[in-house]
Amino acid sequence: MAIQVTGVVDAVANELRAAVFDGELAPGSLVTEAWAAERFEVARSSAKAAIEKLVAEGLLQRTPHRSARVRPLDEASVRDIYRTRRRIEAEALRELAAERRVPSAAREANDEIARHLGGSSIDIVDPDMRFHTEMVDAIGSERTSRAYHALVAEVRMCMAQVQGRRLIPVDQILDEHRRIVELVAAGDGEGAVALLAEHLGRAEERLAAAIS
Amino acid sequence: MAIQVTGVVDAVANELRAAVFDGELAPGSLVTEAWAAERFEVARSSAKAAIEKLVAEGLLQRTPHRSARVRPLDEASVRDIYRTRRRIEAEALRELAAERRVPSAAREANDEIARHLGGSSIDIVDPDMRFHTEMVDAIGSERTSRAYHALVAEVRMCMAQVQGRRLIPVDQILDEHRRIVELVAAGDGEGAVALLAEHLGRAEERLAAAIS
DNA sequence: TCAGTAGACTTGTCGGACAATCTGCGAAGG
DNA sequence: CCTTCGCAGATTGTCCGACAAGTCTACTGA
């Protein structure tokens, strides 16, 4: 199943990333090179490289000669993240609607969400993000995807920080996704964009309220 | 003048970046850790970190256990870069036009271009990029700026690869910039966007033609 | 009370070492 | 003659230990 073992550094970076997303590493908590080196049993230089990678990704923040810490997101950040998300995704929807094209991977992500109907919203963060990511990736712009993936990582940090408080119910998310898919398939780009704006706007408000 | 000497790694990364932009390091040429270490008289570990930074920025590319090389850009990349540029910058212009706001730094960048009237187009790459960057930065979205800065770096790589062939004349660039500024100041967002699309479209075609 | 300082802690950089991996060339074999 | 194998050289990946440099804290002394 293609578990790429590229190297120690990437493995540590992945573990750290997962720890941040799981909320195991709370926002603001210190991540020293020595701590990471000991925890994952690697050399300090390797831990350093992994930390620097996450700093570049925006998950950790650091100033010279000081330990990295898990980046805490404030309301302004949430608003900026969602503003940018809306812009990118709106363009993607317009482009997809123009060709009446809905990537099958996005539909499958929705099916996965459907399987969690009645469950907790936290459990669908994964397929939810995948739905949106697939829509953006479908337009085939490497640069746009790169930017969007970075945003998704930050959204997941928000989720971790908020710890499931005030999330939107699963059935509502699923319903809105499906309506967006229908509008795109029908070629109604502006309709899809309007609905998307509501969809993301609601999430933004919840997160902004929960985070402050 | 704030020349931040944050550390050896950043210094090496900056030197390498400049070498790529200057065309001293041709697209496709190898950049081994040992070579960089010797050239800048730093430890191999430091050179390694600098190279990895540029890989993350997209200026170099690398596969595991193989030397990094200066990323060569093909026509598809140029088109993707400009497609994304257009999208981001168009949104920025709309937002600025809505408030009839033109950042003074953008005007100053144009003045700098004016000082090179009659000169070579290569000399104004810097202020040209600064004009566009300032417009985007002015909307105050950290994430949008991050994405745009990455694109600008790639544009500069294109410039280096094309070596000044087929660039657009200085006076034309200046004229178009000024008209964009006027339209934004007048609150005509869509007019500014239309002109921008032409402006960037022309540059895209030139680069695409020169690169293939 | 407050400034200054000593010490602990952490990062930044270095140099060396060795294994793992890739490359290219030449030899062995069909 | 062509293919394949293997080996030597080059390069990266990782580790270790060391020390300088910078930051933070808590204590001391005026």
Q: Which domains are seen in chain B, by residue range?
A: 8-70 (1.10.10.10), 75-211 (1.20.120.530)
Query: Which amino acid, residue B109?
Result: A
B64 CB neighbours strand C below 7 A:
yes
pTM of the model: 0.94
Provide residues of B within 8 Å CB-CB of chain A.
Answer: 6-7, 45, 49, 52-53, 56, 64, 77, 80-81, 83-84, 87, 91, 141-144, 146-147, 150-151, 154
Token code pair at residue B31: 């950049």
Q: Which of A138, A205, A208, A85 is nearest to B144 (CA)?
A: A85
With a pLDDT cut of 70, the percent of chain B lying above it is 98
Write the residue in B80, B91, B143 that is nearest to A151 by C-beta.
Answer: B143
Q: What is the pLDDT of residue B122?
A: 85
Q: pLDDT by residue (tens digit) across B26-83?
A: 999 999 999 999 999 999 999 999 999 999 999 999 999 999 999 999 999 999 999 9
- Cβ-in-10-Å burial (0-12, 13-18, 19+) of B41 comes to exposed
Contact (CB<8Å) A142/B56? no
CA distance from start to end of chain A: 41
H/E stretch holding B161 reads helix B142-162
Q: What is the pLDDT of residue A2?
A: 45
Return the higher-pLDDT residue of B165 and B187.
Answer: B187
Residue of B nearest to A151 (CA): B143
Which residue shows structure tokens 């996005």? A106
Residue A4 pLDDT > 70, yes or no?
Answer: no
Q: What is the pLDDT of residue B4?
A: 55
Write the residue in B52, B56, B80 that is nearest to A143 by C-beta.
Answer: B80
H/E stretch holding A196 reads helix A189-211
CB A33, CB A47: distance < 8 Å: yes
**Length A105 CA → C13 C1' (Å):** 47
Residue B178 pLDDT > 90, yes or no?
Answer: yes
Residue B41's contacts (CB-CB under 8 Å, 6 or more residues apart) are: none
Q: Provide the 8-state DSSP code for A66.
A: S
Q: What is the pLDDT of residue A115?
A: 96
CB B57, CB B155: distance < 8 Å: no
d(CA B148, CA B84): 9
Q: pLDDT by residue (tens digit) across A157-194?
A: 999 998 878 789 999 999 999 999 999 999 999 999 99
CB B170, CB B127: distance < 8 Å: no
**Length A36 CA → C29 C1' (Å):** 53
Neighbouring C-beta atoms of residue A97, cutoff 10 Å? 22
Task: Give which of B61, B143, B148 to mutate to test A binding, by max A Cβ within 10 Å.
Answer: B143
d(CA B184, CA B139): 13
Q: What is the pLDDT of residue B162?
A: 87
Query: Which chain B residues are closer than 8 Å to A64 by Cβ?
Result: 6-7
Token code pair at residue B70: 């200066």
- Cβ-in-10-Å burial (0-12, 13-18, 19+) of B115 comes to exposed
Residue A203 pLDDT > 50, yes or no?
Answer: yes
